[in-house]
Copies of this chain bind each other. A is one copy, B any other.
Amino acid sequence: MSKTIRIEKRILEKNDVVAARLRQRFADIVVVNIMSSPGAGKTTLLEETVKRLSGKTTIGVIEGDIATDYDAQRVESAGAGWVVQINTGGVCHLDAGMVEQALDSMPEKLGLLVIENVGNLVCPSGFDLGDDYKVVLASVTEGLDKPKKYPGMYRKSHAMVLNKIDLSPHVNVSPAAFVKEALDVNPALTVFQTSATAGTGLDEWCGWLSALKKPANA
């Protein structure tokens, strides 16, 4: 499979050139890249986040999906200051070039830019989008084995939001045990436990998010 690996290396190098350009453009905006399996609850979390924070700061959102603009509509209705939908066609992740193309209409002043990646626990973590913080959103319904089965995603992330904890009794997955599995893979993860639909844990998550600073090396 050496040929495949060489192609991937070339694609990633090209991505990094664009990501460096994005990082210059994002010099004054904290950028958070949220990644998860399909249906873990990224958009619902984002709707609730926007509702809570939009009085305090202007939140921009870039929505990544294979198809449809369902998510952009939802986040816009929740009150996001600026929303763009990227449809990747068949591509299973966002790359820096797609993000760059989406920025034409970006307003000068944004307090926070959140990029909701394509639902996929594998490839999105490999592409630098000029982001400052990567967040993996997990759901208790996925089962305890996921951090160790998808270690790259957990290793690359700064924080894990463990969502749908209200379903924990129904799926026989303990949030504490899931957190332990995730910390086994990446002990540096900042952890939040939420139910985005029930409102649990959202104050802690929103508090962390709104306190984020531009990293020193950005």
A interface residues, how many (CB within 8 angstroms): 39
From the candidates B92, B142, B152, name the one contacting A123 in the complex (CB within 8 A): B92
Residues of chain B contacted by A7 (CB below 8 angstroms):
7, 11
Q: How far is the CA of A35 from the CA of B164 in the complex (A)?
A: 23
Which of A20-28, A50-58, A114-122, A204-212 faces chain B? A114-122
The CA of A90 and the CA of B118, in the complex, are separated in Å by 17
A141 touches B167 (CB 8 A): yes
Q: Which residues of B have CB within 8 Å of A149?
A: 38, 65-68, 70, 119
Task: Please name the residue on chain B nearest to A44 by beta carbon.
Answer: B143
**With the chains together, A1 CA to B164 CA distance in Å?**
37
Contacts of A119 in B (CB 8 A): 37, 121, 149-150
Give A171 Cβ to nearest chain B Cβ, in Å. 7
The answer, yes or no, to whether A148 is at the interface (CB within 8 Å) is yes
Q: Residues of B contacting A123 with CB < 8 Å?
A: 92, 123
Q: Which of chain A's residues 128-161 have a Cβ closer than 8 Å to chain B?
A: 139, 141-143, 145-146, 148-152
- Residues of chain B lying within 8 A (CB to CB) of residue A126: 90
Chain B residues contacting A139 (CB-CB under 8 Å) are 39, 141
For the complex, give the distance between the alpha carbons of A65 and B151 in Å: 11
Q: Does A4 reach chain B (CB closer than 8 Å)?
A: yes
The distance in angstroms between the C-alpha atoms of A174 and B116, with both chains bound, is 26
In chain A, positions 30-55 with a C-beta closer than 8 Å to chain B are 37-39
Which residues of chain B are near A166, meaning CB under 8 Å? 170
The chain B residue sitting closest to A152, CB to CB, is B90
23 contacts across the A-B interface (CB closer than 8 A):
A1-B91, A1-B97, A4-B91, A37-B119, A38-B149, A38-B150, A39-B146, A66-B149, A66-B152, A67-B149, A68-B148, A70-B148, A70-B149, A90-B126, A91-B122, A92-B120, A92-B122, A119-B121, A120-B122, A141-B167, A167-B167, A167-B170, A167-B171
